[in-house]
Amino acid sequence: MKDLMSLTRVVEIKTEMTCSKKKTLIVLLGPTGVGKTDLSLRLAEHFHSPILSADSRQIYKGMIIGTAAPTVEQQQGVEHFFVGMLDIDHYFNAWQFEELVIQTLDLLFQQQKTLLMCGGSMMYIDAVCNGIDYLPNVNNAIRLQLVKEYEEKGLEAMQARLQELDPDYYQIVDLNNHKRVLHALEICLTSGQTYTSFRTNKKVERPFNIIKIGLTRDRDELYQRINQRVDEMMANGLLQEAKKFYSLRHHNALNTVGYKEMFNYLDGEWSLDFAIEKIKQNSRIYSRKQMTWFKRDKEIAWFHPDNQQEILQYIETLLKQ
């Protein structure tokens, strides 16, 4: 993790008197397109906190337009961590994210007692809030080989292989979710152990309080915002950005809504108009998956993004307790 830590700024540790105020991490979350960025900037300014990004794609360099990453101006106004710090070919998972964020929080909490994390990547947020089982780094050659086998032989062949390598996980995994099947196979083949052997599902107690703020909108309102944002991305140069990464499209970082549809257009499989509509559709589908995941967490307090004063009052009340 030293290499990863070197990608972030060096945090000066200031000698301060112990403050009676408890350490608190505010976690701002919600589906894609809901309006997290604008509110995160206001909260960061209010609490004099940097923003720790919990976005599994904004962490990569150059994926700016397609991930709606914070602009240069926004990053100049409020310091952001974990934005544009990894090369596209760098393998990175939720376990590594947890370790990196916890190390950074340990340093930042020595300077201030209230910090802000913002994002929509469900596994990344869970990893920081609850802990995540350790998983070995996947061999990239194994990953590419499995993807090739999946494309050539289909899902049933991958399911059969998982049943052979890890029959216990085979019984509980969503067998129709090819990503989960392939990921389990990656771990099995990389480690020589079953995927099940790494799963403990034990919640970790953190040495700081966590306040979870969820942002939500009516479905029609959210879908309209998503569609509009895709149009804005295209106007801002999403196609040109995708062209820059076309030769790297086999890397996992680019298996992302927005880029993969543009790659299909560049491959000549789809028209540009069809690719744009698919980005909108797949973004809407992803937003539903995010909300399904987040709604299971009873610790999240939900607000409309426009109710900023209500959100601030809610946070301030909890901080005083």
Over residues 141-165, the pLDDT tens digits come to 999 999 999 999 999 999 999 999 9
- Of 39, 24, 55, the residue nearest 212 (C-alpha): 24
Q: Is the pLDDT of residue 224 over 50?
A: yes
At 252 the pLDDT is 85
Q: Please give the average per-residue pLDDT across 194-206, as a whole number.
A: 84
Q: Please give the average per-residue pLDDT across 271-285, as a whole number.
A: 97
Q: Please give the average per-residue pLDDT across 5-12, as a whole number.
A: 45
As a whole number, the mean pLDDT across the chain is: 91
Taking the C-alpha atoms of residue 208 and residue 195, their distance in angstroms, rounded to an integer, is 30
Distance of CA 261 to the CA centre of its chain: 19
Grade residue 21 by pLDDT with cuts at 50, 70 and 90.
low
Where exactly are the structural domains of the chain?
2-133+202-320, 140-198
User: Domain spanning 2-133+202-320: which superfamily?
Assistant: P-loop containing nucleotide triphosphate hydrolases (3.40.50.300)
Q: Is the pLDDT of residue 192 over 70?
A: yes
Q: Please give the average per-residue pLDDT across 24-45, as a whole number.
A: 98
At 15 the pLDDT is 31
At 14 the pLDDT is 36
Q: Is the pLDDT of residue 109 over 70?
A: yes
Q: Is the pLDDT of residue 199 over 80?
A: no
Q: Is the pLDDT of residue 180 over 70?
A: yes
Residue 161 buriedness (CB in 10 A; 0-12 / 13-18 / 19+): buried
Q: Please give the average per-residue pLDDT across 177-196, as a whole number.
A: 91
Tell me if the domain spanning 140-198 has CATH number 2.60.120.260.
Answer: no
